[in-house]
Amino acid sequence: MLDGGDLFGRPNANDREQTRFLCSATGDLGFDAIGLGEKELNYGLPFLMEMIEKYDLPYVNANVRDTKTGELILPEYLVVEKAGIKFGITSVLTQAQKLKSMTDDDLGLEVQAALPVLRELIPRMREEVDSVVLVGHLGEGSTETALKDVVGVDIAVMGHTFRNIKTERVVGDCALFSSAHEGRYIGRADLFIDATDGSVQAIQVESIDLDDKIENDPDMLERVNGFKEEMVAFNEAKRSKYPRSLGSEKESYLGDRSCKKCHEDLWASYAESQHMRAFRTIRLKGQNTEPECLVCHTTGYRFMNGYEDERPYNDLINVQCEACHGYGSEHARDGKWAAQAKDSCVVCHDQENSPEFDYATYWEKIKH
């Protein structure tokens, strides 16, 4: 069994817990090799290493090195014996993605160009094994380019894809199997392999849709359901750190469109600021359900009648006027500022999230 990488989820706490569960299940499924994808670094290198060690995950990669030591972070290739054939399995990662985690933009890792690495490595592997397998986390076009350039790969599985691709093909002397995407499919290739030289004949290749027609494994189903219950408790614990206890039940947030009706010039200034893009930045990182992020990327998250992160949702995304000035209902009633806006900056622009914050400098960015 092979996996082409990007087993891990998006860079947020929920996905990290889900990934932890997935790693435990993957370890039990008995994969022979898993290629390193860039998503494997989403929770940092120590987390990846913890998963590898704890669940005995056979990760492999030949082109990601520690910048300081120059050492590979994972085994360069694995040797697996099946049906009397010695397979050498390696993987390379695309250079197209910057390696970063949810907390660190620089992991101190270098991704080397895949082709020179493979040109040097494959002949060395062939001296030791009967058949060479590449689990390439390179994407559609680059995998084919690599196989046309590098001689000596017998079987390749393509990772770093964004759709399910069913078309298997022969590139040079290599049988290339395409992706079986997002766990919705599993690819199966029945092969004849010549033990004397590793050459391959495929007799049947199929992409199996893992839909309701495939019966659930009772033990795995029980584990998944147990995990879901754990996640409910996990999410409740996270949310409880940010109780909706501030403000007043009698007051309401009116939303920036209401402010615009009387303050179009001020609203125009807001519309040009990063405050109006605050939710987008967490959505792009998959963090838009994280309470600790929502506190500062929405309006009134900890206040009564503020941003709702459960159904029915409301329009209070972004750091709108009322995030700094308080309930619009108060202001609409007496025309006064409901809050001293200046003091509210440091609630979010604190040492942890905004260490370079300086009121005079930052004010220029939102001046209104």
For residue 6, state whether it binds another protein (rule: CB under 8 A): yes
- Which residue lies nearer to another protein by CB, 37 or 58? 37
Closest approach of another protein to the CB of residue 29, in Å:
9
Closest approach of another protein to the CB of residue 313, in Å:
18
CA atoms within 13 A on the CB side of 214: 9
Closest approach of another protein to the CB of residue 155, in Å:
7
For residue 21, state whether it binds another protein (rule: CB under 8 A): yes
For residue 224, state whether it binds another protein (rule: CB under 8 A): yes
Interatomic CA distance for residues 85 and 196, integer angstroms: 9
Residue among 299, 305, 243 at smallest CA distance from 276: 299
Rg (alpha carbons) of the chain, rounded to whole number: 26
- Cβ pair 273, 320 in contact under 8 A: no
Q: Which stretch binds another protein (CB under 8 A): 14-22, 252-260, 290-298, 355-363?
A: 14-22
Burial 328-357 (b: 16+ CB within 10 A, else e): bbbbeeeeeebbeeeeebeebbeeeeeeee
- Cβ pair 319, 306 in contact under 8 A: no
Closest approach of another protein to the CB of residue 255, in Å:
29
Closest approach of another protein to the CB of residue 279, in Å:
21
- Which residue lies nearer to another protein by CB, 20 or 65? 20
Binding-site size, another protein (CB under 8 A): 56
Interatomic CA distance for residues 249 and 344, integer angstroms: 21
Q: Which of residues 172-191 bind another protein (CB under 8 A)?
A: 177, 179-191
Closest approach of another protein to the CB of residue 194, in Å:
4
Closest approach of another protein to the CB of residue 338, in Å:
40
Q: Which of residues 113-172 bind another protein (CB under 8 A)?
A: 155, 157-162
Q: Which of residues 25-54 bind another protein (CB under 8 A)?
A: 25, 37, 39
Q: Which stretch binds another protein (CB under 8 A): 92-100, 109-117, 201-209, 257-265?
A: 201-209
How many CB atoms neighbour CB 270 within 10 A?
20
For 305-356, the DSSP string reads: T---SSSSP-S-BSS-HHHHH--HHHHHHHSS-SS-HHHHHHHHS-TTT-TT
Unique residue bearing structure tokens 């997935």: 22
Contacting positions for another protein (CB under 8 A): 1-10, 15, 18-19, 21-22, 25, 37, 39, 82-85, 155, 157-162, 177, 179-197, 199, 201, 203-204, 210, 224, 227
